[in-house]
Structure 1
Amino acid sequence: MTVRERTELLEEQILSPYATLSKKTRGRDRPEEECEMRTPFQRDRDRIIHCKAFRRLKHKTQVFLSPEGDHYRTRLTHTLEVAQIARTIARGLLLNEDLTEAISLGHDLGHTPFGHAGERVLNELCEHGFRHNEQSVRVVEKLENEGRGLNLTHEVRDGILCHTSGTQAQTPEGRIVRLADKIAYINHDIDDAVRAGVLSERDIPGHITSVLGTRRSVRIDTLVKSVIRASGGAEIRMEEHIFPLFLELRQFMFQKVYLNPYAKKEEEKVPFLIKTLFEYAKNPAHLPPDLREIAEREGTERAAADFIAGMTDRYAVVLFQDISIPKSWDH
């Protein structure tokens, strides 16, 4: 018996009847020989961690654009916090932790620079719209590995696609990630907003903190336990007395942070920057070779969107400066 087979046997013996078993995956688009050591979902997790798009997340905005300070969240640290919360929930429900982790680590691979501000601009510019969850799937299917993609399992790609609002993931593990994403960003965004002086913990309405908690770690603990207690079968949810307060906390964050003119004042510059880069990238001569091929097959707009979505914040700024600001003549 190989290590992988032993792990698959343990899954059958230990996990919930509703868990997605590794040996029952719907497989990959391109069949591969099984690994002796790792299950398919473990291999997917490793492929995501080692891909270039994952490494770029460390220089992509979460909420605050180019914050001064080392302790603000980036898209990468957000991803890691989602993975931690999701795995804890999966463990508590005896669901597949490896599948849950792989989906978590891949859910934001296609996110634009400058957070949702960048996503909104690309959505306006692209004829068929732009959604980061769909782009994340495109990254793992077509853009990574020199156009060959990562050849991930169906269950991981489905979880990545369905981590936002809309269609629910086909697996309970994917539905966990959808909720863990919200739990993570609401609470770490409060932490960053307090650090930035945008709000104080005392600003959160007392009837919310009296139940959910007055500190980030306590709130996360409360919400995670609530999901584990309330979920049953393949349904993933919070307790009925907790979920409305969680939604109210989310609405509070929209009012105080996400739509706060002071906190988001730098976002006013994002549309002009993204539009300038988009027009520049629609010229295939300005694209790297792999994206020129996409421009030929799928059109210049598609290639331009892929190019910009893959940028880090700082690369986007440097390229914008390079094409927009005249340089001194050096004879």
Structure 2
Amino acid sequence: MPDAPFACHPAVSRGRRHAEEESAFRSCFQRDRDRIIHCSAFRRLKHKTQVFVEHEGDFYRTRLTHSIEVAQVARTISNALGLNTDLTEAVALAHDLGHTPFGHTGEDALDALMQPWGGFDHNAQTLRIVTTLERHYAEFDGLNLTWDTLEGIAKHNGPVEGAIPYALSAYNALHDLELHTHASAEAQVAALSDDVAYNNHDLHDGLRAGLFTEEEIAALPIIREAYAEVDATYPGLDAYRRRHEALRRVFGAMVSDLIQTSEACLKESGAGSAQEIRELGRPVIRFSEALWADLRQIRSFLFTNMYRAPEVMEKRARVTQALEALFPLYMADPTLLPARWQGDVETALRAGDEAGLARLVADYVAGMTDRFALQQHIKLTGRDCLEGLGGSGY
């Protein structure tokens, strides 16, 4: 159980929108975590892009393996800070459920296609999935997660300000998630654990793909010191083990810095409850200024040499074309959507609700895995958008 006064405690959870009898064996946050793991959207993450198109190689991270790595980091940090590890893990495991096929490339394409109807945001789509689109339970749509987990999903990156995405505003009107405040410390841990995980595993995957060399990354801060320590401790170590030993030290440095800095922030805040954390007006889970500056250099390197590498950009353009072809096809002929979607399609068509129909199409396209989107593109257009491209890289 969490021991910090500012941790979220199951006994004082704000509960679920639809009342349920409590489990005799699991806390409410443990049930949330388990429902997320067992939902359809979580399983589909195994065939969704992290950086590299899912079928490019078995080594590369997918959204599923990324989410598991984020959850592992988040549990470690949450436990060290005396927070509720079950709530932290639930938010971490759910944070990418709303991602489209082809990662951020797919999100950018779908957002552009949905501009006439309010755009598309993967974080808001995650909330839509867990509150509406998962339809397995007899008594409610969605997973009926606790307020605390839903709040963490909606606000783990901070208060939602300005134009609020449709999925967030629609649900918030029914169940106020207090979008103007920060989320719990547990959700903030999940958010920065995402940074820790992807900065590290993208270095691994980029090296494996040959997008940059060890000599290039060894010039970067944190990484430079990690390689020097490995070389001093294990002179003559083979290249593969040397890489792993160095990058795991980078991982450890990020986690240690985050724990130590956050401990100081939490103590300085004087917060005595989870609600006081929400109302503090600033995040309490942070990297130190020095490490954050180093991370910015690493992220800039990855942006230039990995996310915007020529072979990556070529495939970004190709898969964008696939989604740009699929979306208008489904809008023009929504009978192409599966049979179980047709009731909602007919409701939208009878009401002349073009925006409602567009959201249904966006829900369907966003839920596709990489391989299914590619298969549907070939089936409906007769064209393979990746024809002629090599198998390594994005």
The one-letter code of the counterpart of 1:161 is A
Alignment partner, residue 146 of structure 2: 153
Alignment partner, residue 63 of structure 2: 75
Alignment partner, residue 31 of structure 2: 43
Equivalent pair of 1:292/1:303 in contact (CA under 8 Å): no
Which residue of 195, 202, 217 maps to 1:189?
Answer: 202
1:184-242 CA distance string (max 9 Å, x none): 11110111010000012321263503576342211111011111101132510112221
1:278-327 CA distance string (max 9 Å, x none): 1122232112244334443562100000000100011111111111119x
Which residue of 5, 22, 27 maps to 2:15?
Answer: 27
1:74-102 CA distance string (max 9 Å, x none): 01000000000111100110100000000
Give me the CA root mean square deviation.
Answer: 1.9
Moved more, 95-104 or 270-279: 270-279
The one-letter code of the counterpart of 1:180 is S
1:147-199 CA distance string (max 9 Å, x none): 71000011111212224466474200000111011111111011101000001
C-alpha change, 1:159 and 1:169, in structure 2 (3 Å) is farther
The one-letter code of the counterpart of 2:375 is V
SS at match of 2:310: coil
Alignment partner, residue 225 of structure 1: 256
2:244 is aligned with 1:254: no
Whole-angstrom CA distance in 1 between matches of 2:141 and 2:55: 35
Whole-angstrom CA distance in 1 between matches of 2:43 and 2:55: 19
2:332 is aligned with 1:288: no
Structure 1 position 259, deviation (Å)? 1.4
What are the equivalent positions in structure 2 for 1:161-172 lying under 5 Å apart? 161-164=154-157, 167=160, 169-172=182-185
Moved more, 107-116 or 151-160: 151-160
C-alpha change, 1:291 and 1:70, in structure 2 (3 Å) is same
Alignment partner, residue 190 of structure 2: 177
Moved more, 131-140 or 159-168: 159-168
Alignment partner, residue 204 of structure 1: 217
C-alpha change, 1:19 and 1:186, in structure 2 (3 Å) is same
Whole-angstrom CA distance in 1 between matches of 2:14 and 2:120: 28
Whole-angstrom CA distance in 2 between matches of 1:292 and 1:189: 40
Percent identity over the alignment?
A: 42
C-alpha change, 1:211 and 1:95, in structure 2 (3 Å) is farther
The one-letter code of the counterpart of 2:94 is G
Equivalent pair of 1:281/1:307 in contact (CA under 8 Å): no
Which residue of 306, 324, 331 maps to 2:381?
Answer: 324
SS at match of 2:26: coil
Whole-angstrom CA distance in 2 between matches of 1:275 and 1:210: 39
Whole-angstrom CA distance in 1 between matches of 2:315 and 2:339: 33
SS at match of 1:316: helix
Whole-angstrom CA distance in 1 between matches of 2:200 and 2:315: 22
Whole-angstrom CA distance in 2 between matches of 1:257 and 1:137: 30
Gap regions ≥5 residues in structure 2: 161-180, 228-245, 267-276, 278-283, 349-354, 384-394
Whole-angstrom CA distance in 2 between matches of 1:277 and 1:98: 39
Alignment partner, residue 6 of structure 1: none
C-alpha change, 1:314 and 1:239, in structure 2 (3 Å) is same
Whole-angstrom CA distance in 2 between matches of 1:257 and 1:236: 28
Whole-angstrom CA distance in 1 between matches of 2:159 and 2:325: 31
> TM-score, normalising length from structure 1?
0.90
2:79 is aligned with 1:86: no
Equivalent pair of 1:83/1:105 in contact (CA under 8 Å): yes
Alignment partner, residue 7 of structure 1: none
C-alpha change, 1:58 and 1:139, in structure 2 (3 Å) is same
Whole-angstrom CA distance in 2 between matches of 1:245 and 1:128: 36
Which residue of 137, 157, 180 maps to 2:127?
Answer: 137
SS at match of 1:208: coil
Equivalent pair of 2:48/2:100 in contact (CA under 8 Å): yes
Alignment partner, residue 113 of structure 1: 101
2:313 is aligned with 1:264: yes
Whole-angstrom CA distance in 1 between matches of 2:146 and 2:119: 26
Over 6 Å off, 4+ runs: none
Which residue of 28, 32, 49 maps to 1:61?
Answer: 49
1:241-288 CA distance string (max 9 Å, x none): 211111221121111111112233211112221011111222321122
> TM-score, normalising length from structure 2?
0.76
Structure 1 position 64, deviation (Å)? 1.1
Moved more, 188-197 or 150-159: 150-159
The one-letter code of the counterpart of 2:200 is N
